Chain A
């Protein structure tokens, strides 16, 4: 339907959250690391899991599930964290599982349907139709500043 006019980056770092495949453009991703112990911040919005020391930088770790209004995790497999470069500096997103870096064809880009809940839709830029499933592209800056 709607192919975005300004050529979006083609490579996306992908990850799974609650069974859905999400992606953030590779240029925005600083690194991917295993989730580390964080320091909790009382009174903070619930989307914030805590603060992590990333080689001398203090990075806020956000639960992507919480930001997207998804159900809490049941699995006890260790989470992964995707450190993204946002306008606010590095911010960590906790995800279930890391996927591949995917190159996608712009022709497969679709805008997000209006039937989505507003909360989720505001974080999504577009969706790519992959062969098996959909790849949902997150707006890194919006996710990085997500509140409850």
Chain B
């Protein structure tokens, strides 16, 4: 039953905290009775306590909280106004809960106290007319019903000493026992005896031991003994002052675990990081001298720092198992009480997550699982009728993906009926008829996350009040996570919780490319492959310019990290092969190979977020500070797979923009390609209309009727040039004043299947995030805009409209049927 005790312990610690908060909330509420947020918070607290005690077989507690909740519903919904008597009653309820919890803690179940009077009062204040004048002397109704609760408290008092009495003798016994062997403390036992008369009996029975202790103590010098006695007396007095024996037990339980501020932990981790750096420097320094004591000290510092680092890191990481360990039990009991049969299957229990994150998702997980069992999974008869096995299946799966922790809760139950949600939403006035009919299924499903939204026909003591899912959402969003619901009517529901790993420590693989280090999260890592240039020649295959590697009969698309980072021009089919280090990864359900210069090391790191300047760059998940104090960027593999064309996004993977190596290749509508037109003027072309930058040799240019054309990727494309007057012309290599050898810089434009090349004198630059004004309407739109870029007047050319007439002519001439 160890696990069960753990649950109770946790429940108690949590509830004590919640109750303290409840006190504060209620008092604050007296001043501002309309504070919806506070009412909501009070409601959730009571709801949580009630929910948990339902599974811990604490029927009395459950009853009191249930009635309390009943009272809170009209308060939250504004049907009832919080008056003094109501507040008093609620506070009494809090006291009663606390008293019961204390009894639970002392191992006596809920105790024998009777809370009928309190329950009756809770019912009474709820049903009394809300119009009751506030001016009525509040003391009368308050004090009169309060009497039974005072009795109750008296009853509590009578039981608690009994509880402690059973523990006290043991304590004294060990005390005396040790004092026998250790004369220094011998005075203490007798002092206890003297100053705590109510423990007299217990101590009496220990006389023999005590006597032995005294005998041992007699051998001590008299002065010493006197001093010890004096100290003991002081000790005893302070004991007395701290006293109430009742709280001792509670204190020990609460003291056993300390909740820490995330901020403090973050600070500690940072400080330890700094310490590691300082340690490294000192160790380095000590090596360069022959000072033996310094060596020894450095060595010791080294050890301690390592241990400290490990310890601090560990304080924050826990397997997800700790959060959902109690769920199977919960499911079992709840299912049994509902006449349902549910199996629980859990995967990825060892997935580690930051303690604070873990804490934050515990409650949401409990709520979700309860909802699934209560509403999701159908009764066995119904399941059989639907052709499903009678036992429902609840699957929990946790894993890391793309720097996030994902928890999936999947059931094979009835799913969410969006029709009911729609009807309910209209009935509650959340949606108008028209809105409801235009909302997508997914959007409708997400309505269940609204506060107070419930589709349950009956409010049970488990769920149906519409609190659960809004707590879930609030808690998850509090830690920067998100919640998705996918449901198929009749087949089941999947909830997907994404939690960022910004606080988590993850193992990474360090790679080097173009002289810089980058970290790849190991969760995405499948294997490492090295192939030398000879093998590369045979084993790297190409589809056009896209390299592929045949890994055990599976075609693995390759992307080069340096190309993705804009540090290297794209490689082509004909390029001489070189040694390749391939990191085989999976992201977003796809596998691909990332080619890097060097694979260095593995390490555990703490992710730190990047600033606002890097938000637009999808390939980084964050950065970290390495042992040598340098910063290392962490790659976001999902982002990398997308920009690399492995998954989603660009359909035209094979036409990455070829840019000068120092530029990025992300294309946004505001990014401009700056070109020299050849007659001294500059133009800017929105990068979004540029498919690729190419260089053609003058000898590649052929004539086709009036047009100059080149063979490009199995297609014949016309070349145009832009002159100063912004007329689109047929290209004339002489007018560009290029030598026979120098290549033609060509901007390849693609619109659907229309492809054309625009020959320019020179590609000058690419500028990102340029403020481009809205396009003026009208025919000559292509020429109408200009900007001052780098102190030069630069025209913006919209290739699409610019090329329209020329392309039409090209198509008419050569493709007219």
Q: Which residues of A pack against B, CB within 8 Å?
A: 38-48, 51-53, 55-58, 60, 62, 69, 88-89, 91, 117, 145, 147-148
Contacts and interface: CB of A to CB of B under 8 A. Distances in A.
Contacts of B769: 45, 147-148
B274 A51 contact: no
B749 interface: no
B664 interface: yes
B453 interface: no
Given A88-B612, A145-B612, A147-B769, A40 B271 contact: no
B516 A39 contact: yes
A56 B277 CA distance: 9
Given A56-B274, A58-B610, A148-B770, 16 more contacts: A39-B516, A43-B565, A43-B619, A45-B613, A45-B768, A47-B613, A53-B629, A55-B274, A56-B270, A56-B271, A56-B625, A58-B631, A60-B611, A145-B612, A147-B769, A148-B768
Contacts of B613: 44-45, 47-48, 60, 62, 145, 147
B630 interface: yes
A44 B625 contact: no
Given A44-B614, A45-B613, A148 B767 contact: yes
A128 B620 CA distance: 41
Contacts, number: 77
A55 B277 CA distance: 10
B768 A41 contact: no
B273 interface: yes
A44 B617 contact: yes
B625 A58 contact: yes
B675 to A, nearest CB: 18
Contacts of B768: 45-46, 147-148
Contacts of B270: 56-57
Nearest to B671: A148
B623 interface: yes
B788 interface: yes
B611 A41 contact: no
B631 A39 contact: yes
B638 to A, nearest CB: 16
B610 to A, nearest CB: 7
Contact of A42 (B273, B610, B664, B790): B664
A42 B566 contact: yes
Contacts of B546: none
A58 B631 CA distance: 8
Given A51-B623, A147-B768, A43 B617 contact: yes
Contacts of A46: 768
Nearest to A90: B611
A84 to B, nearest CB: 12
12 contacts: A39-B630, A39-B633, A41-B633, A42-B566, A42-B664, A43-B664, A44-B613, A62-B613, A91-B611, A147-B613, A148-B769, A148-B770
B184 interface: no
B565 to A, nearest CB: 4
Q: Size range of the interface on B?
A: 20 to 34
Which has the most chain A C-beta neighbours within 10 Å: B273, B611, B769?
Answer: B611
Contacts of B755: none
A42 B788 contact: no
A41 B788 contact: no
B516 A40 contact: yes
Nearest to A48: B613
Interface in B622-664: 623, 625, 629-633, 664
Interface string B599-621: 00000000010111110010110
Nearest to B272: A56
B764 to A, nearest CB: 14
Contacts of B620: 41
Contacts of B565: 42-43
Nearest to A51: B631
A53 B627 CA distance: 12
A44 B274 CA distance: 27
A18 B631 CA distance: 29
A124 to B, nearest CB: 17
5 closest Cβ contacts across the A-B interface?
A42-B565, A43-B664, A39-B631, A56-B270, A60-B611
A32 B631 CA distance: 20
B612 A117 contact: no
Contacts of B614: 41, 44, 48, 60
A43 B666 contact: yes
B13 interface: no
A58 B623 contact: yes
A141 to B, nearest CB: 11
Nearest to A38: B631
Contact of A58 (B608, B666, B791): B608
Contacts of A39: 516, 623, 630-633
B567 interface: yes
A56 B629 CA distance: 8
Contacts of B664: 42-44
A46 to B, nearest CB: 8
A62 B614 CA distance: 12
B269 to A, nearest CB: 9
A42 B625 contact: no
A89 to B, nearest CB: 7
A57 B623 CA distance: 10
A39 B515 CA distance: 11
Contacts of B516: 39-40, 42
A63 to B, nearest CB: 12
B295 to A, nearest CB: 27
Contacts of B274: 55-56
Nearest to B788: A117
B567 A42 contact: yes
A103 to B, nearest CB: 31
B611 A89 contact: yes
B524 to A, nearest CB: 20
B287 to A, nearest CB: 23
Interface string B560-599: 0000011100000000000000000000000000000000
A90 to B, nearest CB: 9
Nearest to B276: A56
Contact of B631 (A44, A47, A52, A117): A52
Contacts of B666: 43
A51 B613 CA distance: 11
Contacts of A44: 613-614, 617, 664
Interface in B736-768: 767-768
A39 B626 CA distance: 12
Contacts of A42: 516, 565-567, 664
Nearest to B790: A69
